[in-house]
Amino acid sequence: MQIKIENWPYNLKAAFCLNFDDLSPFYFARYDFGGNLNGNLIKQQEWLLSHSNIKITHFVVPQSNFFLPISNKIHKIINFRTNKFAINNGKTLDWLNYFKNLINDGRVEIAMHGFRQFNNHYYKRHQEFYYDSYDEIKGKLLASRKIFEDAGIRVFGFRQPGWGIDENFNLLKVLKELNFEYIAGSSFDAGLNMKEQRVDNYIPSWYQGILNIPQNIELDSSLDDIYKKIDSIVRESNLISLKGHFTNVKWITNNFRRNNFVKLKNIVGYLEQYKIWYATFKEIADYFKITSKASVEEKYIDQRKIFIVKLPNKIKGFTIAAKSEMTALPYEEIYSDNSKVVLSRGKNYKMVFNVSSDNFIIEY
């Protein structure tokens, strides 16, 4: 009998997380980054949340200072330095309460997307941490966290603006020191995978002591390509991580304008054919951090083979596949309300434990 810990809970085939960068209270004239509660971006988000089981992880810029190609006159009108668009500014209270309600409903996670998404270098100006030292990075992250705390939001995850990460990986060291639970820090060829592949593209993985959750589908891709990628990821029981930018600015890639919203509606329908776990990045990190550190101990008691599956913490929906070496029979599903299961010989099982436990016993 072979015991395999499944990637996802409740015997679900794959996980899906829709995630956006750049959400902030900022909007001015035709530029919107989710700040206009009556705008199309918010209306489109509300449709997705009300017509599907999808959850959304938003990577939020807490004190916007966007580098936009607009005139100096308009920059003076906007006057970023007044912190007018900070999430803890009393003038953005309606915006803040709207998103805090979504957080409380469990449908939306707010994670950190830098501090101001801006640096003073002429090159790669949006890559806020690209040129920074350890102390500079730590100062920005502490300032950013303080704004979130003042706004009443606790953040667990981080994505670096523009995938920019310093070559010494000081950013990872600071995130670990400040007890961030994950970084969503990689695409196929950027972020942690810049110049060489360091982390997996389809499953969470550890790098330098912090858990990375990858991005593997872009919203600008064609529907056919997205469908093919989804099919491939589901076959391998991996993570579908679909990334966009929560803005209507047309020159920003993977934006959330009408055409990409329609694309997302089609993707929602396509996913219905599969057993999908719709989760936030925080939920994915919580499950993976436990299962990736699980251990299986095999022993004999009274001539009975016993497998003891030990977890570092309690978790509900924990799923195990038990495969007999003697048979190629299809899996039978077992849902158990206790932490002990006795299996018949010569059969394959997938067991879902509805009980929260950190010690599961399988007797064969």
Which residues, including other chains, have CB under 8 Å from residue 226's CB and lie 6 or more apart?
217, 242, 263, 267
Overall average pLDDT of the 205-232 stretch:
97
The CA-based dihedral angle spanning residues 67, 143, 181, 212, taken in that order and rounded to the nearest 10 degrees: 30
Half-sphere exposure of 217 (CA within 13 A, CB side): 27
- Number of residues assigned to the chain: 364
From 46, 32, 158, 26, select the one nearest 87 (Cα to Cα): 26
Overall average pLDDT of the 308-325 stretch:
93
- Going through the chain in order, the beta strands assigned E by DSSP cover 2-5, 14-23, 27-28, 31-32, 56-60, 108-112, 157-158, 182-186, 205-207, 210-214, 217-218, 239-245, 276-278, 295-301, 304-315, 318-323, 331-336, 340-342, 348-353, 357-363
What is the pTM for the complete model shown? 0.92
Strand partners, 23: 60
| Alpha carbon distances (Å) from 251 to 130, 221, 248, 255, 268 | 22, 15, 9, 8, 25
Overall average pLDDT of the 118-142 stretch:
76
All structural domains of the chain, each given as residue ranges with its CATH number in brackets, are: 14-287 (3.20.20.370), 293-363 (no CATH)
The region of weakest confidence among 56-65, 68-77, 148-157, 343-352 is: 68-77
pLDDT of residue 81: 52
